[in-house]
Amino acid sequence: MEVIYSGLRQTPDQIAAAAVQEDVDVVGLSILSGAHNVLVPEVLSALKERGGDGIAVVLGGIIPEKDIVPLKQAGVREIFLPGTSTARTVDVIRSLVSATAS
């Protein structure tokens, strides 16, 4: 598995463009600013516009419980809250990649 790090403070369009260009299976977003309800739907929309709507999106950060269900309904496949083990994160991403490959 290859990991591509695009850096900090990327716009949703930059994230989507890189994901589609690099033909990724999963996009992982880390948001600590509280802007998840704005940025995540924009990333999902940008992915769809670029033909990357099959790319799984996972999210980590400080996400209030009340925002989890709406984010998942919008298309986020998994949300990792503070304290999530690395093993759990790896297992979920491997599962998503495996499902994409099938």
CA angle 75, 91, 100 (to 5 degrees): 50
Question: What digits encode the pLDDT tens for the residues 83-102?
Answer: 999 999 999 999 999 987 76
Q: Does domain 12-101 have CATH number 1.10.357.10?
A: no
Contacts (Cβ under 8 Å, ≥6 apart) of 100: 25, 26, 54, 56
| In the chain, domain spans | 12-101
Question: Mean pLDDT for the chain?
Answer: 95
Per-residue pLDDT of the chain (102 residues; tens, 9 = 90+): 788 999 898 999 999 999 999 999 999 999 989 999 999 999 999 999 999 999 999 999 999 999 999 999 999 999 999 999 999 999 999 999 998 776
pLDDT score of 1: 77
Tokens of 35: 């802007």
Helix ranges (H only) for 1-102 are 12-21, 36-49, 65-74, 86-101
What does the pLDDT read at residue 42? 98
